[in-house]
Amino acid sequence: MTGPADRDLRRRAEAVIPGGMYGHQSIGLLPDDYPQFFRSGSGAHITDVDGRRYLDFMCAYGPSLFGYVDPGIDAAYVKQLSEGDALTGPGARMVELAEGMVSMVSHADWAMFCKNGTDATTMAMMTARAHTGRKTLVLAKGAYHGAAPWCTPRPGGVIPSDRAHQQSCSYNDIPSLEAAVAAAGDDLAAIFAAPFRHDAFVDQAAPDPAYARRARQLADERGALLVVDDVRAGFRLARDCSWSRIGVSPDLSTWGKCIANGHPLSALLGNDRARTGAASIYVTGSFWFAGAAMAAGIETLKRIRETRYLEHIQDLGETLREGLAERAIAAGFGFRQSGPATMPLFLFDEDPDLRLGFAWSSAMLARGVYVHPWHNMFLCAAMTPADIQQALDAAEGAFADLKASRSSLGPVGKMAFLATR
């Protein structure tokens, strides 16, 4: 049961927002006691509209890398805002930011900026098609690249021609990648790759370097472009493109979420091979040249370069992982933790309809820790060892609750989304 202020907003939203809410915050995707509406965020915490404060392992689904309302980054934002944000044309911040991204991301020679990850992935698709003069994309089944008709995971409002010219493969499965490329024939424009397998509802998996190298090789053989979609994982695995860790350079990479620590900014980065194609596409938006988010992005990049934030969140993530594994074993649960320590996903064994995951997540929430039952989570640099200890203490209690209630748990309601998985 959520609090009275949340319930009131839900009731009012039902009248004026289709479905009461949409996208990843749609009603019913999370346990019923999860708040829908939040009042504020600070550092590693969020406060819901009823004043309940949670240690937040979602980080706004990624954008908060250094914590909410970071004073230094927000000061850069506010300063630029006071001088002008969306003007008739861009300012110096745009060039400075492009220089910053290009200097940090080893495969990149140029950058283009936009607002959402979907803008960046759609631009990657267009750039690849413009570069090759071909149509077909190879995409991994279940990988998320955004919410435009060509890539949205749900069928509503999408017509078959939106999804024409796509071949699918299975992540890390070289024969299926080869088959998809073969099916594209002489029409292959791009191979899209997630930096690691971070699909919802299933265990995450690191990229097999042989798979990544084969993707590079196939793109080269066919004259197609290789795209790494780093919108979600960017800067939580490396201070470079995530595939730099396995020595594979894409032609294009897409970025968003945390690159301006919560301010609206995304980017398409590319190498010189893709430059002419990128220059030929017409893409823009009313707010794409706005300087305040770019100023926040410049400050965020500086922090990424100059601090040990990455090592810090990796250490915290490892401590969390080890502590959770011990507590799950002690309570007798098969509790699978997958993905990088900085972006974990938790799933229970023998839990096909997620009733264990929902109940455990609710028990965590009741103890002030916001976790997600089927989507990967995110650590941020504002978290401390004491926060991780709080999460572990909460988990001990949540596993105990689950053990006590396990036999009486009913099916999870309203999960039409899951029924189709």
Name the residues that contact ligand PMP, by CB under 6 A: 61, 116-118, 121, 144-147, 229, 231-232, 256
Q: Report how far residue 62's alpha carbon sits from residue 76's, in angstroms, rounded to the nearest whole number.
A: 20
Q: Give CA torsion, residues 74, 80, 86, 89, to 10 deg.
A: -140
Residue nearer to ligand PMP on the CB measure, 232 or 355: 232
Q: How far is the CB of 58 from ligand PMP (least distance, A)?
A: 11
Of the chain, the end-to-end C-alpha distance in Å amounts to: 27
Residue nearer to ligand PMP on the CB measure, 61 or 417: 61
Residue nearer to ligand PMP on the CB measure, 259 or 369: 259
Residue nearest to ligand PMP (CB): 117
Q: How far is the CB of 345 from ligand PMP (least distance, A)?
A: 13
Q: How far is the CB of 252 from ligand PMP (least distance, A)?
A: 13
Residue nearer to ligand PMP on the CB measure, 195 or 357: 195
Q: Report how far residue 177's alpha carbon sits from residue 215's, in angstroms, rounded to the nearest whole number.
A: 8
Angle among Cα 151, 157, 163 to the nearest 5 degrees reads: 35
Q: How far is the CB of 306 from ligand PMP (least distance, A)?
A: 26
Q: Report how far residue 418's alpha carbon sits from residue 99's, in angstroms, rounded to the nearest whole number.
A: 43
Q: How far is the CB of 156 from ligand PMP (least distance, A)?
A: 17
Residue nearer to ligand PMP on the CB measure, 120 or 292: 120
Q: How far is the CB of 148 from ligand PMP (least distance, A)?
A: 8
Angle among Cα 409, 142, 247 to the nearest 5 degrees reads: 120
Conformational region of residue 368, where left means phi above 0, alpha means psi within -120 to 50, and beta covers everything else: left
Residue nearer to ligand PMP on the CB measure, 147 or 400: 147
Q: Report how far residue 413's alpha carbon sits from residue 415's, in angstroms, rounded to the nearest whole number.
A: 6
User: Which H or E run includes 114?
Assistant: strand 110-114
